[in-house]
Amino acid sequence: MANHEISCGLEYIIAPDLQACLSEALHANFAFIVLPIVHPRFRRSFLPSGGTVGGFTRSDMILSPQDWNSRIVGRLSHYLDPDSASPLVRQRHEDCLNEELAYCRGLGLPAVMLNLHSRNVNNLARNLHTYMDSSQHPTLIWTCVPMLCQRTLRAQESADNDNIEAWNEPWYWWTTFHERMGWDKRIGVVVEIPADLPPQEVLKRWLGEPIKAIIVPTTLFHNNKKGYPVLSRAHQQVVVSMVEHDAQVIVSGARRSNIEYYLQYLYRLWKKRPYVADDPMLSYAKGWEDYLQIPLQPLADNLDTHTYNVFEKDPIKYDQYQKAIAQALNDLQKKRKEESINNESNTEIINTSAKEIIQGDNTSKENERAITVMVLGAGRGPLVRATLNAADITNSKVKVVAVEKNPCAVVVLTAQAKEVWRDRDVSVISGDMRQINISPKADIIVSELLGSWGDNELSPECLDGAAGLLKNGGISIPREYKSYVVPISSARLWAAARVANPTNAQQMEKNLETLWVVYMQNKHDIGEIKEVFAFEHPEKGVKNHEGQELLDYRGLPLTDNRRSTTLRWEVQQDNVMHGFGGYFDCLLYGKEIISIVPSTHSPGMISWFPVFIPIKTPLRVLKGDTITATFWRCMNPRKVWYEWIVEVGNQATPLHNRNGRSSEMLL
């Protein structure tokens, strides 16, 4: 929501005249209103069978169907507690709940708001499941909780000063209810902002929940010197951070100023926020927040023109590649000069003048020989352009060989070689880099085969297969790359992954064994980011029991790209784990790197979103628990796949993606 306008609603605790309330809010430019479904002047008389006698609220004809369907959020009676310890109260409240829900269904409201009172929500969840299964209208359920539990706070007044349990209790209400509802993506939470704000770790945890709205009581505002309502700086930061995570703002409470002033202030607050407008990633990711995509398989599938066009717009990646290539060209030139000097010093001095001239000519020719740069997986030529630019910058003479298997991209490369690069030494080879044999071999090979989790687009297999194209002692760009993970809490991403392809229950299970590319916004990191797998190029071959390097049938080092690792995190705060966030970084050459790891992210780079690695069943983790995760990178002659398992205390997930049954990368 970084570039969206803030969406604000106005809550009426009591609405004597619905038309007047709606007109007032719309005139003040509020987007919607929140009002109670039941009017307090209507009696609710129940028969022993549970049926009602007469009406229990106002007629729906007071407003138009369009108003009910788009501008009204119905709030159920706040006192309803169908999980009360009293059987009489429990049954009475359950009947009232179903009565109000049935009326909401008839009105076709876009959202229904209800209150939670404790962790005991089994009966509430049961009734809501019945309502949602029988409702034809896609109504959202907004679950309202306070950020601070006053009941727990009063019980702890004489105990601890930090009151952390009072801050945690409402979160437990919500996550327990959400768990009972199966983490349904139609269920969201509405948080009421208190006067005293919680610790930062509590706020960050709430940002990982699917917050639909925040309630800002008018008591939080104070009048400035000009008499207009404003929030404290701390509350401003909370409101902005919540809205950035797609939360709407609901102004609630007694009127202490003109209602238009509250909205105008919130608009100004949103517009003057510290917004990085020049960050290309924010602009590029607009509209793609928390939207899941299947990772590309450029080795098995040929990319289309649109995909190439998107990747070529990256303002940073190719600049970094150009710097790395320039540094590699400089290093090769220095190496040649040093070798020529050493050769001259070690050459026996021959008095014959003709032989001296020949020796000098050979040295000169070696220094003037063009440096061969092979671009593997050249696409439509961005790395070819980066190589030619680097050659101009370093005054190097280069011979560029562009290797590409995609027939459509080969057409583009060939046209550019004839028209754009006709004065340069550029040749195009059509074929799979793993299967071609070109002479002379390359001094430098350059590729951009990395995926969002580093090796998940089979860069190791491609570059190892093309190792025969590189001279001994040649340079590979990239030189090294690593993948990383961090356990995260994100009910929104987990629910979206489960129903991404909802054809049947088996497919939904497969969705939770699949890596998803996604610009993650609505998530909370449970631990720190840790390294998973690492690859380097040129790769060294495996060795036998005698320490001898093994070779394949082509005489190249025999590599093994299978990997496994076990990682552990100590939980610092009670949470619910839904999976992992995956990232990578890459050392191109020298000091030039590209990274999507949050702490080292290459500013402005847009080519890769992170990956979300779900687990089948969300795990509730407590402070002090240890999360143990094991990842495997497996392969056979046909495909490569990942497997993973998570353990927390006595809890353990099943082994995910066994034998690559749900997701794989085809060789």
Q: Where are the domains of the chain?
A: 8-42+58-151+162-273, 305-342+364-448, 480-666
* pLDDT number for residue 345: 66
Across the chain, mean pLDDT equals 88
**pLDDT higher than threshold 60 for residue 505:** yes
Q: What global pTM score does this model have? A: 0.88
> What integer is the mean pLDDT of 436-459?
92
Q: Give the number of C-alpha atoms closer than 13 A to the C-alpha of residue 542, restricted to the C-beta side.
A: 8
| DSSP string across 254-292 | --SS-HHHHHHHHHHHHHTS---TT-HHHHHHTT-BT--
- 570 has catalytic annotation: no
Asked if residue 433 belongs to a known ligand binding site, the reply is: yes
| pLDDT the model gives residue 263 | 93
The response to whether 185 counts as a known ligand-binding position is no
**What tokens does 176 get?**
């327990």
Q: Kindly list the strands in the beta sheet with 371-376, ordered across the sheet, starting from the edge strand earlier in the chain.
A: 426-430, 398-404, 371-376, 442-447, 470-477
Task: Single out the catalytic residue among 448, 513, 643, 664.
Answer: 448
pLDDT category at 162 given cuts 50, 70, 90 is low
Q: Is 278 annotated as a binding residue?
A: no
Specify the CATH number for 305-342+364-448; select among 3.40.50.150, 3.90.850.10, 3.40.50.1370, 3.90.1530.10.
3.40.50.150
CATH number of 8-42+58-151+162-273: 3.20.20.150
The pLDDT value given to residue 14: 84
Q: According to the annotation, is 184 in a ligand binding site?
A: no
What residues form DSSP beta bridges with 40?
Answer: none
- Mean pLDDT, residues 2-6: 64
Report the pLDDT averaged over residues 223-252.
Answer: 92
Beta strands in 47-204 (DSSP E): 72-75, 111-115, 140-146, 187-192
Using CA atoms, how far apart are residues 615 and 633, in angstroms rounded to an integer? 17
Residue 112 reports pLDDT greater than 80? yes
Give the Cα separation of 411 and 615 in Å (integer).
43
Determine the pLDDT at residue 437: 87
Contact 627, 526 (CB under 8 A): yes
Average pLDDT over residues 132-153: 88
Average pLDDT over residues 407-422: 94
| Cβ-contact 444, 372 below 8 angstroms | yes
- Burial class of residue 101 (count of CB atoms within 10 Å of its CB; 0-12, 13-18, 19+): buried
Residue 332 has pLDDT above 90, yes or no: yes
pLDDT band of 46, cuts 50, 70, 90: low
Mean pLDDT to the nearest integer, 351-361 = 47
How sure is the predictor about 2, in pLDDT bands with cuts at 50, 70 and 90? very low
Is 318 marked as a binding-site residue? yes
- Between 48-52, 469-473, 627-631, the lowest mean confidence (pLDDT) is in 48-52
- Four-way CATH pick for 480-666: 2.70.160.11, 3.30.200.20, 3.40.640.10, 3.40.50.300: 2.70.160.11
Catalytic residue (one of 457, 461, 539, 664):
457
pLDDT grade, residue 282 (50/70/90)?
low
Mean pLDDT, residues 84-100 taken together? 91
Q: pLDDT > 70: what percent of the chain?
A: 90
Say yes or no to pLDDT of 255 above 90: no
The tokens of 598 are what?
């949050």
All residues at 6 or more sequence positions from 616 whose CB lies less than 8 Å from its CB, including other chains? 509, 512, 513, 653, 654, 656
Is 113 within any annotated ligand binding site?
no
- Among 308-312, 331-335, 343-347, which is the least confidently predicted range? 343-347
- Mean pLDDT calculated for residue range 647-667: 93
Cα 365 vs. chain centroid, distance in angstroms? 53
Does residue 653 surpass a pLDDT of 90? Answer: yes
Comparing 78-87, 318-327, 353-362, the range with the smallest average pLDDT is 353-362
Q: Is 457 designated active site?
A: yes
Q: What is the pLDDT of residue 506?
A: 80
Q: Which residues share a beta bridge with 581?
A: 486, 612
pLDDT of residue 352: 46
